[in-house]
Amino acid sequence: MLSIHTLMAYLKIQLFDRGTPAGKKLFADLEEVCQRLQLDISPDYITDMYKIIEQGIQANTVLMINHEPVLVDKFPTTSELEAIISEFV
């Protein structure tokens, strides 16, 4: 069985956003949730949408966890966001 620290080493959280106000708020919420969950990682805020477009996703804001799209143009509350991230920890 892998330890929580080993699992976190594989956890990659990326927010692809075109610089929208809602996306910036979502990123701030992501940082807060990562601290609250005591994750030893920092989410990435990426404005280059090319990687998302390569995957065939047309959106303004995409949350990817471990290279999988989790949210597309959706902006959950911090408690909902915490539940989503907890599924990957």
Distance in angstroms (rounded) separating the CA atoms of residues 17 and 12? 16
Q: Give residue 89's pLDDT.
A: 85
The reported pLDDT for the residue numbered 9 is 54
Tell me, what's the pLDDT at 2?
45
Q: What pLDDT score does 11 carry?
A: 92
Residue recorded with tokens 């892998």: 2
Which of the four CATH numbers 3.10.450, 3.40.50, 1.10.150, 3.40.30 does domain 4-46+62-86 have?
A: 3.40.30
DSSP string, 14-56: EEEESS-HHHHHHHHHHHHHHHHTT-S---EEE--THHHHHTT
* pLDDT at res. 55: 87
Q: Which residues of the chain have pLDDT under 70?
A: 1-9
Say what the pLDDT of residue 10 is.
78
**Angstrom distance (rounded) from CA 34 to CA 29:** 9
Domain boundaries, the chain: 4-46+62-86
Q: pTM for the whole thing?
A: 0.86
